[in-house]
Structures are given as C-alpha cells and as structure tokens.
Amino acid sequence: MRLLHTSITVRDMDESIAFYTQLLGMELENRREITQNNAEIAFLGMKDTQHKIELTWWKGKDNYTEGDQLDHIAFAVKDMDERIRKLRSEGVEIAREPYTLGTSRIAFIKDPNGIWLELIEVK
C-alpha cells in the first residue's frame, strides 16, 4: 500500500484553499463537485511530496464540532478484493463495501479508533 491523501472536512472551501495555498505554500491541483456525495472537493499538493490534502465541503452540513474535521486517510491498493478479504478475515470493520465512484474503485474501512480509511484500487 501507498499513502495517497488525507481528507479534511471544511466549513468554507474558498477560505480553506486560501489558507493552505497562501499561508502554507501548497498548490491547488484540482477542485470539483462530487454530485453523488453532495460535496465539493479540492486537492492540494506540495513539490517535495506526493501526499495530498483533500479538502471536503459537504453541502448542507451546518453542524461542525471541533476535532471532527478529519474525514479520512486514503491508501492505494493493487487488488481491492484481495485486500478487503484479508482485512475482513482479520476482523476489520468494512464501513463501505467496494464501489465505483467516477472512474475509481474505492472502499472504506475503519481503524480501531473509528477513523475512516479509504482504499483506492490502483492497477
């Protein structure tokens, strides 16, 4: 597996992009609507690492509790079915079974603390 990105839930996409780009020196790589999830996402990167920050703004979400902003951490996997089978056999909670979102095949599992981890199949 390879670490891909960390997703943070944000209250204001424009303000958050300005913070990460202007104050932390990150570069906006792309920004798009995810209509299936009623959300908007933006990916930001830095020249010295492949790891990305994904900002996620959930349309209609108005209850924000400080400390709940970590949305998920994403990992690349080569064989989704094999990885899910192994994790399930080890008793890992599969929060969302593998499905297709756009052109990607993804799934979500939970770590022992309830933190969501996204698996993205990369051939």
Ranges assigned E (strand) in 1-121: 2-9, 27-34, 39-46, 49-58, 70-77, 94-101, 104-110, 116-121
The number of residues in the chain equals 123
Q: Is 118 considered catalytic here? A: yes
Catalytic residue among 29, 54, 90, 118: 118
Cβ atoms of 72 and 118 closer than 8 Å: yes
Contacts of 39 (CB under 8 A, 6+ apart): 33, 56, 57, 58, 59
DSSP-assigned letter for residue 90: T
Report how far residue 100's alpha carbon sits from residue 115's, in angstroms, rounded to the nearest whole number.
21
- What residues are annotated to the active site? 118
